[in-house]
């Protein structure tokens, strides 16, 4: 029990103990972003499929793409969800909207993913920002990272 408290899995409260997060099983820290440790919301999750059945979850396309850049060729596939329909899309085929005025995501710059370029264009018409392909997003984030040196 003391071990668990020290590890942060449970927290001592007045009434006894409270489970603060699940004890890791096969999949580790599935609810936490691999990059910034913030809570993952399924709608914004960005999944990186790695060799040996390892899956890393990032909280949003921003963290996901940075992580993918770090891992390089080790990433077998990256998956994200369409912001409007919640459908899973292969990140390399998705369209990304950056710098829109509608703030919904967790990280800055906020990056929203879309399956359909037309939807991304319509979103930009309504809320501003710019539509990028996967490759353009990757490059743009990398340049920003180098310049700002932080997430």
**Footprint (CB under 5 A) of Zn ion, residues 34-53:** 35-36
Minimum CB separation from Zn ion for residue 129, in Å?
16
Query: Which of 66, 80, 107, 124 is in the footprint of Zn ion by CB under 5 A?
Result: 107
CB 44 within 8 A of CB 61: yes
- In 21-148, beta strands by DSSP E: 46-50, 54-58, 77-81, 88-90, 95-98, 111-114, 130-133
Query: Which of 46, 47, 56, 63 is in the footprint of Zn ion by CB under 5 A?
Result: 63
Minimum CB separation from Zn ion for residue 60, in Å?
3
CB 29 within 8 A of CB 38: no
- Determine if 80 is a binding residue for Zn ion (CB under 5 A): no
Query: Which of 48, 60, 65, 91 is in the footprint of Zn ion by CB under 5 A?
Result: 60
């Amino acid at each position: 029990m003391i071990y668990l408290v020290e590890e942060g899995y449970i927290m001592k409260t007045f009434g006894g103990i409270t489970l603060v997060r699940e004890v890791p099983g096969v999949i580790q820290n599935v609810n936490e972003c691999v990059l910034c440790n913030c809570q993952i919301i399924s709608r914004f999750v960005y999944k990186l499929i790695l060799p040996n059945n390892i899956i890393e979850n990032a909280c949003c396309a921003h963290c996901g793409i940075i992580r993918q850049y770090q891992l390089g060729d080790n990433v077998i596939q990256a998956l994200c969800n369409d912001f409007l329909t919640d459908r899973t899309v292969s990140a390399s085929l998705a369209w990304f909207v950056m710098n829109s005025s509608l703030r919904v995501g967790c990280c800055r710059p906020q990056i929203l993913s879309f399956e359909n370029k037309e939807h991304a264009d319509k979103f930009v018409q309504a809320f501003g920002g710019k539509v990028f392909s996967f490759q353009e997003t990757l490059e743009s984030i990398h340049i920003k990272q180098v310049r700002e040196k932080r997430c």
